[in-house]
Amino acid sequence: MPELSRRSLLGAGVASAGVLATGCASGPAAGATTPTFVIVHGANGNGASYAPLVAALTAAGYRALAVDLPGHGPGAHFPLSYQAPQDLAALASEPSPLARVGLDDNVEHVVRVVRQVAEHGPVVLLGHSMGGATITRVGGEIPDLIARLVYFTAFCCVRLRSVLECFTVPEAAVTLAAAIPSLGDPERTGVTRTNWRSADPAFLAAAKLALADDYDDAAFRTALNGMEPDETWAVTVGDARGEPATWGRIPRSYIRCSRDRMLPLALQDRMIEEADAATPGNAFDVHTLDAPHLGPQNPQPVVEILTSLVRLS
């Protein structure tokens, strides 16, 4: 298997630290028709990564909930070898409980959340980076409970089968995913494992260029410290395709990040085009931010887009 798939797909997904809180909150204008934004993180992330976005949405009068996928957040796995002083040899080989988690588990978890939230009003379901694989499949399970799907520089598989397959096409050739080293072989450990606690200047420079090249250094280190070392390999290779008859009838929006070096803009555009071709009567509503993979350091531009979508849903 190519080097990218074996060692460095930190996630096709690393998607999560930076812009978007764990928990659910209601703004003063909350009511029966006020939508709830349900946010699904990407690889190596968790709900807490999205505290600034949830806080800003709440201040604007909306409900917002950032989900912790199985094996993330309070259920995350932090090997003892990941603590200081680190044992990198042990860290590269130690088994992870996340190896037992697949895309179906993520989908089942988010379906339960959406069913609960939908009892209180419309649901806008947002996936960031690899979180897009989960929300597509959730849309296929419960299309009538979702007012709108939002892909935030996220994977949207229709013709391409999986997150991993997305990285094999020409539009992904310039991705910097391979510049961030993973420990061990995911085909043996069942996870991609990344040492986000590394102080190696080369690692920090590569990670910042790939994920958040315009963040100040303090903000970037804060983002890194919110990431989790393990991400299940099964989600990366799982069938994440959306079906036109179910997923394809939900209104959807895409927030492109033009500075994204992890999920290149050309790949974002290819996924948008393939989705629109599959559902010609229901095309993406597209927005563009001058932002890197983690999104803008200040979440306000994201909030402005999301609140504008309420009028469309």
User: Whole-angstrom Cα distance, residue 35 to residue 39?
Assistant: 13
Report how far apart the first and last C-alpha atoms of the chain are (Å, whole number): 42
What does the pLDDT read at residue 252? Answer: 98
pLDDT of 185: 87
Count how many residues are written for the chain.
313
What is the reported pLDDT for 21? 33
The whole-model pTM stands at: 0.91
Q: How distant is the alpha carbon of residue 110 from its chain centre?
A: 13
- CA distances to 42, 107, 287, 290 from 79, rounded to whole Å, are 20, 26, 39, 36
**pLDDT at position 138:** 98
pLDDT at position 105 is 98
Closest CA to 39 of 142, 151, 176: 151
Residue entry with tokens 């299940």 = 232
In the chain, % helix, strand, coil (3-state, to 5) comes to 40, 15, 40
Q: In the Cβ-directed half-sphere of 274, how many Cα atoms lie within 13 Å? A: 18
Question: What is the Cα–Cα distance from 200 to 52, expressed in whole angstroms?
Answer: 28
pLDDT beneath 70, residues of the chain: 1-32, 312-313
**pLDDT of res. 312:** 66
